[in-house]
Structure 1
Amino acid sequence: MSGASSSELLKIADAHVRCGEWQQAIPFFQASLAIDGAQPDAWFNLAWAQRAVRSFDDALQSYQQAIDRGVSHPEEAHVNRAAILSDHLDSPQRALAELEAASRANPFFVPALLNLGNLYEDLGESDLAGAAYGRALDVHPGNGRAHARIAMIDLAVDQSAGVVDRLRKALDRTTTLEDRAEVLFALGTALDNAADYDDAFQAFEAANWIARSIAPQRYDPIAQEDLVDRLIAAYPADRPLSVGGSSLNAPIFVCGMFRSGSTLLEQILGRHSAVRCGGELEAIPALAGRLLPYPEAAAALSAEQASALRAEYLKIVPATGIMTDKRCDNFLHIGLIKTLFPESKIVHARRNALDTFLSIYFLHFGEAITYGNDLSEILHFYRQYLRLMAHWHRVFSVDIIDFDYDHLVAEPDKAIFDLIGALGLPWEDRCLVAGSSANVVRTASAWQVRYPVHRRSSGRWQRYRHHLEGVVTALAQMEEDFASRPTNAC
């Protein structure tokens, strides 16, 4: 870097960014800013790179520098600061302040208003969330996300009258396919709530058809099968387990299929005085993404490398108590998890397969789940999930605790008592009391889990039986192949 000008260093940094080489870009941004610190865009781009490599405190400082030095769109920097504070640093109140600052900087910046509404939903503040989404509609009357979220809040707080009619009118206001899909998913939910199941399924089919048509990436069944094959090969049953050391505060990892009851499960665990809810953390997938080729590189970690990764993960763990990590698709990374945390327990959330399929199909995941918009692709993904979980059970045996959602809703006291005992935690009566924990809920189930356990979602697929005949037949054949179940279920 010696002798290079500030602009030359920026060009090198930008070239690394274009290639997704965030770590390599950072020193060039820093060197350029050391020469000329009055470059707000460079501070913003440095912050972006620091966030990409999970240097969250540094990213916060760099975004603030961009704001202080007059970046042209300060609202974007405030929204990025809010995302870091909320998603990674467990500071929702500071995140709220950043989003309000973004709205003051630009009252017409819809992403700030949508994020504000979402964060208020996480906090259980339905009125404030609705008001934020309403402000977004004042700016953009056709915004599908705002219409959908207001409808979902109304359904959750039992103000469903008129929701279906409002959503049908909202369809006429949408201007993009994404907005139309958002409203159709919400309309399907409202019709399901009104027991109009045929029209509900028709709305969900239309929503998923649009979502598939605009998805930037489609589900690749061959790639998924190959990944599962490689995971099974990388972690054979006779593999030595202890690599990463031990810790009294190793997290409890909750995983399984999406929409399998994992959020409710985590909230139940969070009622225990020793447990802190971490939510859907991206730490394990982020670490896995750096170990290339994955999973072979992860399986070949030395004790020193594993300890370093373990220490990096533990930076997000509270000083006291046991944290839960509820990232559902961490079932793909159980081998890595047990390498870093040999003493950790894995709670495997399970639910009736057809209820799980419908719940995925009825929810708008956006780009997060590539298989969610097609029932045949959900079925294929589920088969690979069963195959991999059967392998993990063989490898890690008693450290994987199966927890069945349908057992929970049928016999909640027994299911919860058995789970707490399986985790080796002392029993506390508060574990049976809904609402005894005050956790932020960052999930599509944010409103459902705030109420006592109920049976309304168990067996839900029966209402749609005649729409699912092909799926039911295919699933029955599949389950014959996986008839044997682990004995350590609770």
Structure 2
Amino acid sequence: MSETAATPPAATSSAQQQIEEARRLVQAAQFDAASALLIQLLTGDLTAGESADALYTLAVARRYGNDVDGALRTLDELVERESDHSRAYQERGHAYLALNRPEDAAAAFAKALELNPGLLASWKSLANLHKLLGNTEQAAFAAAQVSYLAGLPRELAAVTDLMHDGKLYKAEKLCRHFLQQNPHHIEAMRLLAEIGVRLRVYDDAEFLLESCVELAPDNQRARSDYLAILNRKGKFEQAYEQAKQLYAGDPDNPIHKLSMANALTGLGRTEEGLAMYRDCLDRIPNRAGVQVMIGHALKTLGSFDEAVDAYREAYRLKPDYGDAFWSLANTKTYEFTDEEIAQIEREENDASISEDDRIHLCFAAGKALEDRHDFDRAFEFYARGNELKRRQLGYDPDKTDAMIEAQIDVCTPELFEQRGQLGFDCPDPIFIVGLPRAGSTLLEQILASHSLVDGTMELHNILGLAQRLRGRSAERESKYPQILRDLEDSYFERFGRQFIDDTRVYRGGAPFFIDKMPNNFLHIGLIRLILPRAKIIDARRQPMACCFSGFKQLFGEGQDFTYGLDAIGRYYRAYMRLMDHWDDVLPGFVLRVQHEDVVEDLESQVRRMLDFCGLPFEQSCLEFHKTKRTVRTPSAEQVRQPIYASGLDQWQNFDSHLDPLRAALGEDLLARYPLDADTGAVSADRAPSAS
């Protein structure tokens, strides 16, 4: 796990030694001396971390020295520099308590715990404050957290604190050391798994949590975390089984009810999940978060106006809640009011908001201003949000290129000639692949409007199989796709049959079903080997339009390559290179459908897709917007409307900002999609589509 963790800390600096001396002075009740030392230190040349430590310690010294107003001013300066400093908000809570401002104190402690749920002092104070303010259930919840944290071994309490403060290297090292001394300690294993999730080493985390549940089946925290990682990996049926066990053991627990709601919506049982969200709404401390979940469920069901009401209620409860504003923007059809735009910009300009809220607010502001035709300012917000998200993720395009080259190297005509008839002989699945924002949701809605086809969702099963074939640990060299040459013959049929069995839960009664996971384009060779009769449709869109649409989109999970114009352009090139390879080695296996062609001549493209899938023509496929079904992607509201052409050239409003994208795509690739000189639309005489 630690290969992706942060670099170990450097030796203690002179400034850090002076901060430690100030802390000793505070412990000795020499508050004025500590303050004087820190004020002098802050006039020097400090690193950002040293400045934050000095300001925090100065605020503590001032509060203990009865200069509470001075402490609050110091904390204001600290959060302006470092908005995610959890202890700054905890200290602010203590300062408000000293001023007898209990409601402000409760809000400050809640903010501290939002950033770092491992702060025992904040939970203790919050439990007492909720009791004082008459918030019985919230007081009980806080008291339960106090009991849990107070019962941890000292080392694991430190691990919890370090982890939530983002010091993952230290947290992992300390946790592993504890496990060496205490093998199979459930809480240590659970915490190590949580560190793994934060490092995005999901397979290691799943393995640890599965072991926890086997060793301690009554440990609700471990089972709840196991459920969460299963949901994250798209293993919704397994997640549902874990949720049922939690819920059956304590049906009045609102957290378990929330987990059950998440599992139900993951399975596509959205109406049942919605009812459970509503049932636990008033019993969860994060009511704004539950309102957003309610909004998502309503949007999936097509209840647009009710979804909007839920999102608006979420930002009413938490005015800086970026996810609420982005969820409104992400309907793609909502029009922000002047007051809402002003609030978004005001909150985004507040130095104290969390980075995640700032990212969501930037993308929301970009969409709102784009709709107002203020394109330059819209791009500023899009670019800021993308840069912040890119820093969080650390996407490496070289790894993508290596992955593409491995597929090309392994998946040769000889491989398919030797092993191409070993898979499971089943014609049921229709895979729609491509890049995000390329029109795949529209194609899914069209095909799912056919009486013989079930629409499902973006299923994770093929991605999960590829991950299993790579090997469990991210610290070892990947075995996939090279393993496709060496697998025993029987595995190909077994994997194909398992895919059909595992996806049955998402289907209705139709003989065919759609898997709309776009990233499956990376694994077309694997699909061909395990399901040789599957149909694959490549949803493609003009590269400038597709890439910029992805750049404007804040994705819930994955698609790390979209947060930079150069990165997404390079990824599009890699995608085209691999799709050209599939066309060469598997001619006729993939049908290419160009989004612009669908917009220009819907019926011809519908007939073309139905012919490819071996389906008779049905008028309902042309009237796809009338089909009642759940849709779980950003385009959910758009595909419930008749087809429109207005989005084809939206990228051109930002043309002056897109030179980095053009350079990354390259003239040779763009030449395959020439634009009409007069209209700017994709020219009708572009290179013909494959298949």
1:303-359 deviations in whole A, cap 9, x for unaligned?
322222222221313353211111111100111111111011110011110001110
- Corresponding residue for 1:282? 460
Aligned counterpart, 1:147? 325
Matches of residues 387-406 of structure 1 in structure 2 within 5 Å?
387-406=577-596
Checking the alignment, whether the CA contact within 8 Å between 2:606 and 2:621 is kept in structure 1 is yes
Letter in 2 for 1:84: A
Q: Which residue pairs with 1:237 in the alignment?
A: 413
User: Which residue in the other structure is 1:22 paired with?
Assistant: 206
User: What residue in structure 1 maps to residue 348 of structure 2?
Assistant: 171
Kindly indicate whether residue 278 of structure 2 is the aligned counterpart of residue 100 of structure 1: yes
Partner Cα separation in structure 2 for residue 405 and residue 54 of structure 1: 27
CA contact (8 A) 1:163 1:190 kept: no
Checking the alignment, whether the CA contact within 8 Å between 1:26 and 1:50 is kept in structure 2 is no
Rounded Cα–Cα distance in structure 2 between residues aligned with 1:186 and 1:348: 29
Matched, 1:468 2:468: no
Picking from 65, 74, 83, the partner of 2:245 is 65
Tell me, yes or no, if structure 1 residue 80 matches structure 2 residue 259. Answer: yes
2 CA distance for matches of 1:132 and 1:105? 17
1:21 is displaced (CA, Å) by 5.9
Are residues 469 and 49 of structure 1, via their aligned partners in 2, closer, same or farther at CA, if it must alter by over 3 Å?
closer
Note if contact 1:12-1:25 (Cα within 8 Å) is conserved in structure 2. no
Match of 1:316 in 2: 503
Question: 2:268 & 2:365 partners in 1: Cα distance?
Answer: 32
SS at 1:277 equivalent: strand
Report the counterpart of residue 455 of structure 1 in structure 2.
Answer: 645
Q: Is the Cα contact below 8 Å between 1:17 and 1:49 reproduced in 2? A: no
Letter in 2 for 1:236: T
2:572 aligned residue (382, 393, 402) = 382
Aligned to 1:41: 221
Equivalent in the alignment of 2:313: 135
State whether structure 2 residue 488 is matched by structure 1 residue 302. Answer: yes
Q: Is the 8 A contact 2:304 2:637 kept in 1?
A: no
What are the equivalent positions in structure 2 for 1:319-334 lying under 5 Å apart? 319-334=509-524
CA distance in 2, matches of 1:413, 1:313: 32
Q: Which amino acid aligns with 2:436?
A: F
The answer to whether the aligner puts 1:188 opposite 2:374 as a matched pair is no
Deviates most, 58-67 or 415-424:
58-67
- After TM superposition, the structure 1 = structure 2 runs for residues 345-360 of structure 1, keeping only pairs within 5 Å, are 345-360=535-550
RMSD: 3.0
**5+ residue gaps in structure 1?**
1-6
- How far apart are residue 76 of structure 1 and its match? 3.5
Q: Cα–Cα, structure 1 residues 175 and 387, in superposed 2: closer, same or farther, change >3 Å? A: same
Query: Is the partner of 1:142 in helix, strand or coil?
Result: coil
- 1:294 Cα deviation after fit: 1.6
1:430 aligns with 2:620: yes
Q: The residue matched to 2:592 in structure 1 has which SS?
A: strand
What secondary structure is seen at the aligned counterpart in 1 of 2:514? Answer: strand
Cα distance, 1:474 vs structure 2: 5.0
In 2 relative to 1, CA 446–237 (structure 1 residues): closer, same or farther, beyond 3 Å? same
SS state of the match for residue 526, structure 2?
Answer: helix
SS of the residue aligned with 1:297? Answer: helix
User: Who wins on radius of gyration, i.e. which is larger?
Assistant: 2
Per the alignment, in what secondary structure is the counterpart of residue 101 of structure 1?
helix
Q: CA 1:10 to 1:457, structure 2 compared with 1: closer, same or farther past 3 Å?
A: same
**Post-superposition shift, 1:364?**
1.1
Per-residue Cα deviation, 1:402-436 (whole angstroms, up to 9, x for no partner): 00000111111222222212222101111111323
Counterparts of 1:415 and 1:51 in 2: how far apart (Å)?
A: 35
How far apart, CA to CA, are the structure 2 residues paired with 1:400 and 1:423?
Answer: 11
Q: SS in structure 2 opposite 1:253?
A: strand
TM-score, with length taken from structure 1: 0.87
CA distance in 2 between counterparts of 1:470 and 1:54 reads: 34
Partner in structure 2 of residue 4 of structure 1: none
Q: Does 2:303 match 1:119? A: no
* Offset, 1:242: 1.8
Mapped to 2, the partners of 1:415 and 1:310 lie a distance apart of: 29
What residue identity is the alignment partner of 2:499? Y
Report if aligned partners of 1:16, 1:22 keep a CA contact under 8 Å in 2: no
The 1:106–1:159 alpha-carbon spacing in structure 2 relative to 1, beyond 3 Å, is closer
Residue 380 of structure 1: CA displacement? 1.0
- Which residue is equivalent to 1:225? 401
Question: Kindly tell me: are residues 421 and 194 of structure 1, through their superposed partners in 2, closer, same or farther at Cα, counting changes over 3 Å?
Answer: same
Deviation, structure 1 residue 141: 1.7
How far off is 1:172 after superposition?
4.7
Identity %: 26
CA distance in 2, matches of 1:480, 1:51: 38
* Structure 2: segments with no counterpart, 5+ residues: 1-182, 197-203, 471-478, 674-685
Tell me the matched-pair count: 473
Distance 1:463 1:15 in 2: 47
Among 437, 453, 458, the alignment partner of 1:259 is 437
